[in-house]
A and B are shown apart, each in its own frame.
Chain A
Amino acid sequence: MNDMKLAEKTVDQTDIKFSAKDVQVYYGDNHAIKDVNVDILDKTVTAFIGPSGCGKSTFLRCLNRMNDTIDICRVEGNITLDGEDIYDPRVDPVQLRAKVGMVFQKPNPFPKSIYDNVAYGPRIHGLANTKADLDEIVEQSLRNAALWGEAKDRLQEPGTSLSGGQQQRLCIARAIATKPEVLLMDEPCSALDPIATAQVEELIDELRQDFSVVIVTHSMQQAARVSQRTAFFHLGNLVEYGDTPTIFTNPEDPRTESYITGRIG
């Protein structure tokens, strides 16, 4: 793990964006997440690592209530965004998801043009009043997603005609076009080759300027490369949560150490 530049990972933020207290998630009778307490900082990249089936994706999907679409899923406990309970009955999940964007494991652009992919969110949320405004948002989002250079001449071509890495960046552009406050990424690089992965990772680092980013990853190297804070999940429990350098060099819990040195998981 020589390529990790752990020394550079410093956390200069203290504003808490998400705060989870005693979160329990059940899939029917299956207790998937147990007693998770975590504070996610603003303008920081937080990585969730852990072996397959440990509940990190499930917890991520709690943060924008994507679990609502699964009938048998039940969430208990308290999750607040800027101090507001997101599971409050008065909260509209649609509103929440506009604030908390999400990028999925497999690139999933809509079967529409590149322009329409990015413009879809702003359109349904009414973020642009004129065509010029919308053009501006699309351009800015594509720029932020480092796709403008490649896509500016083919905005009307279908999003699915792009390569895998470009598609994933298009999905990131689509997610940030609604001007979210938090960006959730569920293993965004697992379907990409190393070059595309490097581009997306670089992008994540830039996105930190504007958003709080939560990333679920299988790759410990990736977590070490892109995140400032790391949370280690194991069997539905949050085992350890702290600054990335600490987790990777001096973990408190023996399970964390076993995992990052490759003995479990």
Chain B
Amino acid sequence: MSARTSLINAGNTPVTLRLKKRRRAEWRLKAYGIFAITLAMLALVALLNSVVRNAAGALTESYIELPVTLAADDIDPDATADPKIILRADFGGLTKRTLRAVFPSVKARKAKRELYDLLSNGAGFELAEMVSKNTALVGQDITFRFLASDVADLYLQGSYGALIEHTNHGDLTVSLDGDTATVSSSTPDFQTALDGLRAELLQHSAHLREQAAMQDAGVVEFMRRAEAATDAEAKAAAQAQVTARSAARDALIAQALEQEQRADAGQSGEDLTKSSPSLLINTAGGWIKLTRIEADSGVGEVLVPLKGESSDWSLYTTELPEDARKVSDRQIAWIESLKQAGQVDRVFNWRFFTASDSREPELAGIRGAAMGTFWTMLVTFSLAFPIGVFSAIYLEEFAPKNKFTDFIEVNINNLAAVPSIIFGLLGLAVIIGFFGVPRSAPLAGGIVMALMTLPTIIIASRAAIAAVPPSIRDAALGVGASRMQTAFHHVLPLSVPGMLTGSILGMARALGETAPLIMIGMVAFIVDVPSGITDSATVLPVQVYRWSDFPERAFEARTAAAICVLMGFLIAMNALAIFLRRKFERRW
């Protein structure tokens, strides 16, 4: 007779030990699950965070307000007041003249080019458009908000580092000699900058000495080889190496020594180079860029002329050296002086949602690609959904179960796994080549995407149909419904939610697809917003792909913003799938 074991105090019997083991296994499984989900969540958060943060830069655009003289001689010399003639006038030149009028001291060619780079290439067109719409403006003096260039906009966003202001300074005296200004302060205001420069010199010399040490190691090694060498040729080669490397080592050490001496030179000044942060002085409405500093004085170049004299002055350091940013010190000085005059403003970038693709980042927008995606998806859905659903109904409800239908089924499943670029090849050869559908058009893209999505839709729809309980079919057949009535009155309504979910998931896959579109020419630079399914178009993922390839830094933010729009599309489609499923779901 076995004694009854207590439920509360069972002790360590084999049964309880096995139970503990089971508990542990259960706990481990749960832990793995939680770990996996946490990992996925973190990845998602990191992804969204990086994309959204990058995209924030595309949210604003900058405008520079400048006075323009719309001289009739320039714009409309014959006084036609014809918008078409006005549109053809040289507004680009006018824009440049306007800029030069604001900064009359700019004379050098390079400086002029930098000045013109403050405004977008599209700014002149915008002015032309405004004047052509309101011809009464010809001959007047107006202020116009010119669109700032991508570089100016990025600087205003702080992408090229901030301008750091120094505090605690004495009185400044400026003596001008043409474009060169000599400044001196009553206190050693430039000491900090000087120390920074010297620290940099020491750092650099330390780096040079490291390299010299490496060369020295090479010298030792090749000397050893030269001694060990048996034939004369190898010995000569090693000797040559020793000579070359000693020379390189000595040159490096000499350079390091020179830099160390400069850093040690006590009170004497130091030159500022393009690879060290720039020092800018703002006084009396003008800007001076320092080229050489001592502890309490310096020599600089006047970037924006001073208006009279003022005891107020500020000293700024740029966060990045000039050769590490695209915006030059001159441009910074111009932008800052315009900003001080209140002529710069930043607004929400509506243009991004209303404009189409452009080579100029500040002019580029997402509308063309979004409309292309819309048209392509429209074609895809209106082809793939009915064909897919009817194929599924036929295969599931009517087709005889034989070898042939088995063969078809296997091939549909195989098609779902075919790489999408193959569908692109098919589209190129058959849809464009044979049927003559226009290239680069949403129609061609939509057909290819439909072919690609069909297997997914058929498989999902068949699963949805198969999930309808057979008792419903029996019931319908039992009251004398034909097979078609059974399918359409009873099976279809019950399987529609599943079909829609499957279709929308398939569409979501097509939405993010680029590869097949490469083959049919939808990877193209298209400036017009497509207005139908036969216009040339591109789609969102292709736009992302193209922008990510452009060298302009401002496209980085545009790329991220385009990804956000694409994700918006995806979320909207998934939300629609959930909504439809909830709406049509019926219980039995």
B-contacting residues of A (Cβ < 8 Å)?
64, 66, 69, 71, 94-98, 101-104, 106, 108-111, 120-121, 124-125, 160, 171, 174-175, 177-178
Partner of B481, one of A106, A109, A124: A124
CA distance A109 to B490 in the complex (A): 11
Query: Which single member of B475, B485, B586 contacts A104 (CB below 8 Å)?
Result: B475
- Complex alpha-carbon distance, A110 and B478, angstroms: 12
For B482, the chain A residues whose CB sits under 8 A away are 94
List B457-509 residues whose CB lies under 8 Å from chain A. 469, 471-482, 485, 489-490, 494
**A258 CA / B191 CA spacing, docked (Å):** 117
A171 and B475 contacting across the interface, CB-CB below 8 Å: yes
CA distance A234 to B489 in the complex (A): 39
Distance A178 CA – B469 CA, assembled complex (angstroms):
23
Q: Select one of B472, B474, B587 contacting A66, CB under 8 A.
A: B474
- The answer for the CA separation of A99 and B338 in the assembled complex, in Å, is 92
Name A71's contact: one of B401, B471, B476, B586 (CB within 8 Å): B401
Q: Chain B residues near A177 (CB, 8 Å)?
A: 479
Given A97-B480, A109-B475, A110-B475, 14 other A-B residues pairs in contact with their CB atoms under 8 A? A66-B478, A96-B480, A97-B479, A98-B480, A104-B475, A106-B471, A108-B474, A111-B587, A111-B588, A120-B476, A124-B479, A124-B480, A174-B479, A175-B478
Q: Is B400 an interface residue (CB 8 A)?
A: yes
Q: Which residues of A contact B473 (CB under 8 A)?
A: 69
Also in contact, A124 and B485, with CB within 8 A (given A66-B477, A97-B478): yes
Residue of B nearest to A123 (CB): B489
CB-based contact A111/B480 at 8 Å: no
> Do A64 and B588 form a contact, CB below 8 Å, given A104-B471, A108-B472?
no
**Is the CB–CB distance between B472 and A71 below 8 Å?**
no
Given known A108-B472, A110-B472, A111-B588, contact A101–B477 (CB-CB < 8 A): no
Of the listed residues A96, A97, A101, the one surrounded by the most CB atoms of chain B closer than 10 A to its CB is A97
CB distance from B518 to the nearest CB of A (A): 45
Contact status of A178 and B588, CB under 8 A, knowing A66-B474, A104-B471, A108-B474:
no
- Alpha-carbon distance A177/B400, docked complex (angstroms): 32
Shortest CB-to-CB span from B464 to chain A, Å, is: 15
- Of A111, A120, A160, which contacts B479 at CB under 8 A? A120
CA distance A64 to B478 in the complex (A): 8
Complex: how many Å from CA A175 to CA B479? 6
Which residue of the partner chain B has the closest CB to A109? B475
> With A and B bound together, what is the CA distance between A125 and B479 in angstroms?
9
Q: What string of 1s and 0s marks CB contacts (under 8 Å) between B382-407 and chain A?
A: 00000000000000000011000000
Residues from chain B with Cβ under 8 Å of A66 in the complex? 474, 477-478
Interface residues on B, range: 20 to 34
How many residue pairs between the two chains, A and B, have CB atoms under 8 Å in the bound complex?
68
| Chain A residues whose CB sits within 8 angstroms of the CB of B471 once the complex forms | 104, 106, 108
- Which residues of the other chain, B, contact A95 by a CB distance below 8 angstroms? 480
Give me 28 A-to-B residue pairs in the complex whose CB atoms sit less than 8 angstroms apart, sorted by A's number.
A64-B478, A66-B478, A69-B473, A94-B481, A95-B480, A97-B478, A97-B480, A98-B479, A101-B478, A102-B478, A103-B478, A104-B474, A104-B475, A104-B478, A108-B469, A108-B472, A108-B475, A109-B475, A110-B472, A110-B475, A111-B586, A121-B479, A124-B485, A124-B489, A160-B588, A174-B475, A175-B478, A177-B479
Q: How far is the CA of A178 from the CA of B477 in the complex (A)?
A: 13
Query: Assuming the A-B contacts A110-B490, A111-B494, are A178 and B480 also in contact, with contact meaning beta carbons closer than 8 angstroms in the complex?
Result: yes
For the complex, give the distance between the alpha carbons of A135 and B401 in Å. Answer: 41
For the complex formed, measure the closest distance between the CB of B306 and the CB atoms of chain A, giving whole angstroms: 85
Contacts A106-B471, A108-B472, A124-B485; is A71 near B479 (CB within 8 Å)? no
CB contacts (< 8 Å) of B587 on chain A: these are 111, 160
A255 to B352, CA, bound (A): 87
Considering the complex, give the chain B residue whose CB is closest to the CB of A71.
Answer: B401
CB distance from B202 to the nearest CB of A (A): 83
Residues from chain B with Cβ under 8 Å of A106 in the complex: 471
Which residues of chain A are within 8 angstroms of B494 by Cβ–Cβ distance?
A: 111
A94/B401 in contact, CB under 8 A: no
Chain A residue numbers with a CB within 8 Å of B400 are 71
Q: Which residues of B contact A69 (CB under 8 A)?
A: 473, 477
Closest-CB distance, A114 to chain B (whole angstroms)? 14
Report how far A246 CA is from B358 CA in the complex, Å: 95
Q: Is A101 a contact of B479 with CB atoms below 8 Å?
A: yes
In the bound assembly, the distance between CA atoms of A217 and B243 in angstroms comes to: 109
Give, as a whole number of angstroms, the nearest-CB distance from B491 to chain A: 11
Cβ proximity bits B519-556 to A, threshold 8 Å, 1 near / 0 not = 00000000000000000000000000000000000000
Question: Nearest A residue to B479 by beta-carbon distance?
Answer: A121
Minimum C-beta distance from B405 to chain A (A):
11
Cross-chain contact A121 with B480 (CB below 8 angstroms): yes
User: Separation in Å of the B36 CB from the closest CB of chain A?
Assistant: 37
**Distance in Å from the Cβ of B434 to the closest Cβ of chain A?**
39
**How far is B585's CA from A104's CA once the two chains are assembled, in angstroms?**
25
* B479 & A178 in contact (Cβ 8 Å cutoff): yes
Q: A110 touches which one: B401, B476, B477, B485 (CB < 8 A)?
A: B476
Minimum Cβ distance to chain A for residue B587 (Å): 6
Distance in angstroms from B581 CB to nearest chain A CB is 15
How many Å lie between the Cα of A96 and that of B481 in the bound state?
A: 11
Complex Cα–Cα for A71 and B405 (A): 14
> When chains A and B are docked, how far (Å) is the Cα of A175 from the Cα of B478?
8
- A125 → B minimal CB distance (Å): 6
Which 3 A-B residue pairs are closest in the complex by CB-CB distance? A98-B480, A108-B471, A102-B478
Distance to closest chain B CB from A170 (angstroms): 11
Q: Which of B561-588 contact A (CB under 8 A)?
A: 586-588
* Chain B residues in 8 Å Cβ range of A174: 475, 479
**Restricting to B387-430, which residues have a CB under 8 Å from any CB of A?**
400-401
Bound-state Cα–Cα, A160 to B475, Å: 14
Enumerate chain B residues within 8 angstroms of A111, measured Cβ to Cβ: 472, 494, 586-588
Cα A174 to Cα B477 with chains together (Å): 12
A171 to B401, CA, bound (A): 30
A222–B478 alpha-carbon span in the complex (Å): 23
> B403 to chain A: closest CB distance in Å?
13
Q: Give B475 Cβ to nearest chain A Cβ, in Å.
A: 4
CB distance from A143 to the nearest CB of B (A): 18
Residue of A nearest to B468 (CB): A111
Q: In whole Å, how far is A117's beta carbon from the nearest beta carbon of chain B?
A: 9
Minimum Cβ distance to chain B for residue A72 (Å)? 9
Please name the residue on chain A nearest to B471 by beta carbon.
A108
Q: Which residues of B contact A110 (CB under 8 A)?
A: 472, 475-476, 490, 588
- Bound together, the chains give a CA A110 to CA B588 distance in angstroms of 7
Instruction: Return chain A residues, CB-CB under 8 Å to B586.
Output: 111
Q: How far is the CA of A256 from the CA of B400 in the complex (A)?
A: 40
Question: What CA separation (Å) do A106 and B469 show in the bound complex?
Answer: 12
Measured CB to CB, the closest approach of chain B to A77, in angstroms, equals 22
Q: Which residue of B lies closest to A108 (CB)?
A: B471
Point out the residues of chain B lying under 8 angstroms from A97, CB to CB.
Answer: 477-480
- B1 to chain A minimum Cβ distance, whole angstroms, is 38
Bound Cα distance from A71 to B402, whole angstroms: 10
Closest to A174 in B: B479
B425 CB, min distance to chain A CBs, angstroms: 39
